[in-house]
Chains A and B, each alone.
Chain A
Amino acid sequence: GAGVSQTPSNKVTEKGKYVELRCDPISGHTALYWYRQSLGQGPEFLIYFQGTGAADDSGLPNDRFFAVRPEGSVSTLKIQRTERGDSAVYLCASSTQGTSVYYEQYFGPGTRLTVT
């Protein structure tokens, strides 16, 4: 079946612009996660949704970052007033249920964001 998909695969934007990154989870998965992976580092947690609500947004670095999941399926990560330090690969993952370690997190291919 279809895996987690993310669009766009690549995004180049100018400093100060607004960007939206989209994640389509595996059908039926109620939990959705966003991570950010900078070059040479491991993924860093941003936010986790259970259904439509953000169950844990402790990883969002500041108020320029915001994420929504209005219908409990597709999610959009929104970044305002982008900075060069926001350049990274943004990963999305989904799982059948949110907090049980017995349910695997399936990762998408990521969106590579470059802020010039």
Chain B
Amino acid sequence: GDSVTQMEGPVTLSEEAFLTINCTYTATGYPSLFWYVQYPGEGLQLLLKATKADDKGSNKGFEATYRKETTSFHLEKGSVQVSDSAVYFCALRHTNAGKSTFGDGTTLTVKP
């Protein structure tokens, strides 16, 4: 079956540092890929997505590129802020399927 593997956390960075959170997946076919964010005390929110190979999703300074050859969708941000402290989840979903498959999440803490 499908699976998503994220780099283990927690990740602690200083403000303005560069962020990478690795995500790789195993799936049949070509699913769409997503990053969700969960801020403290809030529900899951979609951060960005990519629906086909080589697509780049971007939002709020975060980016991720769908790499079919390495089955990866790594999340990056050039300069993190304290307000980016949250748990980040990588997920996949197949076209014409309701079910999403999530990774176990990576906790990011940004210190001033």
**Known contacts A102-B51, A107-B43; A43 and B99 CB within 8 A of each other:** no
Q: Is A109 an interface residue (CB 8 A)?
A: yes
- Could you tell me if A42 and B42 are in contact, using CB atoms closer than 8 angstroms? no
> Given the complex, which residues of B lie within 8 Å of A55, measured CB to CB?
98
Chain A residue at minimal CB-CB distance from B98: A48
> Given the complex, which residues of B lie within 8 Å of A70, measured CB to CB?
none
> Given the complex, which residues of B lie within 8 Å of A105, measured CB to CB?
46, 100
Total chain A interface residues with beta-carbon distance under 8 A: 30
Q: Is B45 an interface residue (CB 8 A)?
A: yes
Q: Is A21 an interface residue (CB 8 A)?
A: no
B interface, size bucket: 20 to 34
- Could you tell me if A56 and B43 are in contact, using CB atoms closer than 8 angstroms? no
- Could you tell me if B89 and A59 are in contact, using CB atoms closer than 8 angstroms? no
Q: In this complex, which of A40, A43, A50, A93 has the most chain B Cβ atoms within 10 angstroms of its Cβ?
A: A43
* Binary contact readout A57-76 vs B (1 if CB under 8 angstroms, 0 otherwise): 01100000000000000000
Q: Is A25 an interface residue (CB 8 A)?
A: no
Q: State which residues 1-56 of A face B: CB under 8 Å.
A: 3-4, 31, 33, 35, 40-45, 48, 50, 55-56
- Could you tell me if B99 and A42 are in contact, using CB atoms closer than 8 angstroms? no
B43 touches which of A33, A41, A102, A110 (Cβ 8 Å): A110
Q: Is B77 an interface residue (CB 8 A)?
A: no
How far, in whole Å, are A59 and B43 apart by their CA atoms in the complex? 21
14 CB < 8 A contacts A-B: A4-B43, A33-B99, A33-B100, A41-B105, A43-B44, A43-B89, A45-B101, A50-B98, A56-B98, A91-B44, A99-B95, A100-B95, A100-B96, A101-B93
